[in-house]
Structure 1
Amino acid sequence: MAQFRYKAKNMEGRMRRGVMEAVSEKALQQDLREQGFYLISAKKTGNFGGRKKFTSRQLAEFNRELSSLLTAGVSLVRALDIISQEEGAPAFAREVYGEMLSDIKKGVSLSDAMENRNCFPGLMRGMIRSGEGSGNLDEVTARLAVHYEKEAILNQQVRSAMMYPLVLLVMCVVIVLIIVTFVLPQFEELFSQMESLPLPTEIVMAFSHLLVERWYAVLVAVLFIIAVSRVILSFPRMRREMDYLKVHAPIFGKLNKVIYTARFARTLSSLYSSGMSVVNSLKLAAETIGNQYVEEQFAQVSVKVRSGVPLSEALQDVDGLMKKLASTILVGEESGRLDTMLDSIAQSMEMEAQEATKRMVTLLEPLMICVMALLVGFVVVAVMLPIYESYGAIENAR
């Protein structure tokens, strides 16, 4: 059961505001109607909002197990009971499954039980609701398992590819910090005896003094910058600008477009294959892209599709998706195999994303090594330059 803060009105115009417990917003509306009130607005106030989300891998495992049990003829209640008692599942997952099982025993549908817990994505809830309506919940959960398995694989490939550049970056920062905080102070006495120091040496020594003597100020400044950056990025306009840069940046822009297209095509294929209408599928598929700038454009896409414009034509002007998507969908529309073509383009984009990620890492590796060499080289030159100049002064004195 979830709690809703609601606002309702009766036939006489009297307003009522309050908090009521119900299994879903639809059930809340029905309860209020029995009391002579009509729901105007409702917002969940339960404790489920703070619960963490399931990962793609966890969602794939849940759907795979549920599909296998339902296909074997096990009832939904029994299937959830089995899944909720698995020792290998995380504690929070078993808790969620147990709560869902309790709701289902009270007559709540699986989709509404998921709706009451904000740890399941909208795509999954929508497809489960569609499967309940068509009576093929086992097939829908099997399709969801495949969807989230491929999503997990794609995410893992991207994370694995970025691991080496991140390791190089961390090593670069650590090496510079060790040189500046431990090595340079050893030359302090030598440099203090010199009348003047080259500009690079003065810069490096000033930075060394700052880190050694005012490290707490540097730490506070870094934390402050991180906090301010998060606050700034929390504003929708700034978030939109950052998401715009993600699809127009050199090198990374092409990769992000491929990844967004793969996500969208895979989600749209799963939703459309489950029997959901194209318009409803578009809304849910757009939410899985992960880019606000691209997602906002789908409001106009939905309007065009509702007015009778073919999906392939409506998607042509979406900035942030590969143009190949629209042409592939056009082939699917003309051949009457839209779900097949969507699945095909999703596989193609996933393979292209994998190759693009490898190419990006191939470019990043030498770039990170060059950055590391420049930073370390600058520090070394800053240390050796005054020593070399002092030797030169001694030679000239002779």
Structure 2
Amino acid sequence: MPEYSFRAAAADGRVETGQVNAESADDAMRQLEDRLLLVFELKEAGAQPVRRSRGKVGHADLVVLIRELSTLANAGISLAEALETLKDASRDTPLQVPLGRMLTAIHAGEGFSTALGKTGLALPEYVFAMVRAGEATSNLGLALNRAADQMEFDAKMRSQTREALVYPIILVSTGSIAILFIFSFVVPRFAGLLKGRIQNLPWISEVVLRTGMFFNAHFVEAIVALVALVVGIVAASRNDALRLRIIEGAARLPIIGEWINSGETARWTNGLAMLLQSRVAILGALELAAGSVRLRQTAARLEDVRTQVNRGRKLSQAIEHQQLLEPTSLSMVRVGEQSGELGPMLQHVAHYWSDKNQSLQRRVVSLIEPASILILGVVIGFVMVGVVLAMTSLTEVKF
């Protein structure tokens, strides 16, 4: 049985090193986790530890970093020792430099939130607010854990959106290629049989055959145009301003708009719940919640809610005035206000809207699929009708 060397943090804050016998690396990891150890490095005896090469710090890296800091803080390990441990475990990874900056700031006597801000990491603003609240309440570990939860929630919402669009994009792409092939190679064969007498055919046949002849004669240009279209769509998807306009336009459509808006509602309610449970003041929490949504209209309505709350109005009343939640969710907010459990109740509201978003996502995908097939079928059917009419008209064409 292979032997694995490990380096991990124990629950009492000690950093342990040693060996464990296991059938695989996963088995070794499970054994160490059963011993309540937070593993930073694991390698088979005599082998080099597996580390990621230097590069860009991704969202997953940030979530893992915040989660590990939370675990170490909850274990009672000092910030300096925790950062030193993570820095040593992050050799040859993109996190080594940011962790070094944090460690330097901590040694200089600066607070953790200030040190975190000096890393240059692309962390959401609510993370810093939660960390500051955690420092103020001496509950930094819990605040970091909730920040990681919110980051994972945001990533989950984005991932669900991307996954929902994959199949429709593939369907539309393959359909477009099939149509291009039909017009470029199939239709021109029938056009050649008529030897330039297309004008005597029914208008449907004439349109189909002339379109096919055009694509056949300009096939290279058509391919270039198709590639340019794809490149343009990809470039547009990376343009934040243009992507926002497209999303805001889609948010006004039936069904698709419901899907987009439900995702926004899940995002801001979950963020507000996490911030309130981390002891962030409600005005600051509302400001950060407004900054977490993509739709400018929703952000403006949340800003108005913040203004009304600042003037002394209840949160539920302000939300009702802006029609941000439906009656059932609004009732849960009222219960949270009356019971003093606003954060947990908002968490329930967020879970409800997250589930609703997934349901609407499945509904949108189920509608896009038949719609795409219908459009493809109409185009191919139009081509077939044109070709059949042309063939049946051959006996009527005077040569």
Normalising by structure 1, we get a TM-score of: 0.74
Provide the C-alpha distance between the structure 2 equivalents of 1:220 and 1:354, rounded to a whole number of angstroms. Answer: 33
Indicate how the Cα distance of structure 1 residues 297 and 183 shifts in structure 2: closer, same or farther if over 3 A, else same. Answer: same
Provide closer, same or farther for how the CA distance between residues 65 and 353 of structure 1 changes in structure 2, counting only shifts above 3 A. same
Alignment of structure 1 residues 1-398 onto 2, 5 Å: 54-55=58-59, 57-86=60-89, 91-116=93-118, 117=120, 119-187=122-190, 189-196=192-199, 197=201, 198-202=205-209, 204-205=211-212, 207-209=214-216, 211-212=218-219, 214-215=221-222, 218=225, 222=229, 234=241, 242=246, 244-318=248-322, 321-390=325-394, 392-393=395-396
Contact 1:115 / 1:125 at 8 angstroms: preserved in 2?
yes
Distance 2:341 2:282 in 1: 14
The CA deviation at 1:185 is: 4.4
Distance 1:165 1:319, change over 3 A: farther
Partner-residue secondary structure (3-state), 2:251? helix
SS at match of 1:168: helix
Segments of 5+ residues of structure 2 without an aligned counterpart are 1-54
Q: CA deviation at 1:360?
A: 1.8
Kindly provide the amino acid, as one letter, of the partner of residue 104 in structure 1: I
**8 Å Cα contact 2:126/2:147 also seen in 1:** no
SS at match of 2:293: coil
Aligned mates of 1:282, 1:115 — CA distance in 2: 21
Offset of residue 79 of structure 1: 2.0
Task: Sort the Cα spacing of 1:70 and 1:358 in 2 relative to 1 into closer, same or farther, 3 A.
Answer: same
Q: Which amino acid aligns with 2:68?
A: E
SS at 2:379 equivalent: helix
State the TM-score, normalizing by the size of structure 2.
0.74
Instruction: Decide whether the 8 Å contact of 1:257 with 1:322 is kept in 2.
Output: no
One-letter code of the match for 2:353? M
Which sits farther off after the overlay, 249-258 or 161-170? 161-170
Question: What CA distance in whole angstroms lies between the structure 2 residues aligned with 1:83 and 1:114?
Answer: 14
Q: Secondary structure at the match of 2:322?
A: coil
| In structure 2, C-alpha distance between the alignment counterparts of 1:210 and 1:300, rounded to whole Å | 59
Retained in 1: the 8 A contact 2:187–2:209? no
Which blocks of at least 5 consecutive residues in structure 1 are unaligned? Answer: 1-50
Aligned residues of 1:312 and 1:326 also touching (Cα < 8 A): yes
Aligned residues of 2:309 and 2:318 also touching (Cα < 8 A): yes
| Alpha-carbon distance between aligned partners in 2 of 1:147 and 1:69, rounded to the nearest angstrom | 19
Task: Tell me how many residue pairs correspond in the alignment.
Answer: 340
Write the letter of the residue equivalent to 1:337.
Answer: E
**C-alpha deviation, 1:245, in angstroms:** 3.4
The root-mean-square deviation of aligned C-alpha atoms, in Å, is 3.4
SS of alignment partner, residue 79 of structure 1: helix
Q: How many Å apart are 1:288 and its aligned residue?
A: 1.1
Shift of 1:210: 6.8
Instruction: State how far apart, in whole Å, the 1-side matches of 2:190 and 2:367 are.
Output: 37
Q: 1:293 to 1:222 in 2, by over 3 A?
A: same
The CA distance in 1 between the partners of 2:390 and 2:164, in whole Å, is 42
> Are the counterparts in 2 of residues 211 and 218 from structure 1 also a CA contact under 8 Å?
no
The alpha carbon displacement at 1:59 in A equals: 3.5
* Whole-angstrom CA distance in 1 between matches of 2:177 and 2:223: 17
Displacement of 1:393 after TM fit? 2.2
SS state at 1:316 partner: helix
Q: State the Cα distance separating 1:73 from its structure 2 match.
A: 2.0
Taking the aligned partners of 1:104 and 1:302, their CA distance within structure 2 comes to 34
**Which whole-Å deviations, capped at 9, do the CAs of 1:307-334 have from their partners, x for residues lacking one?**
1000011112335654544332112112
State the AA in 2 paired with 1:125: F
Q: Distance in 2 between matches of 1:362 and 1:61?
A: 35
Conserved 8 A contact 1:130-1:274: yes
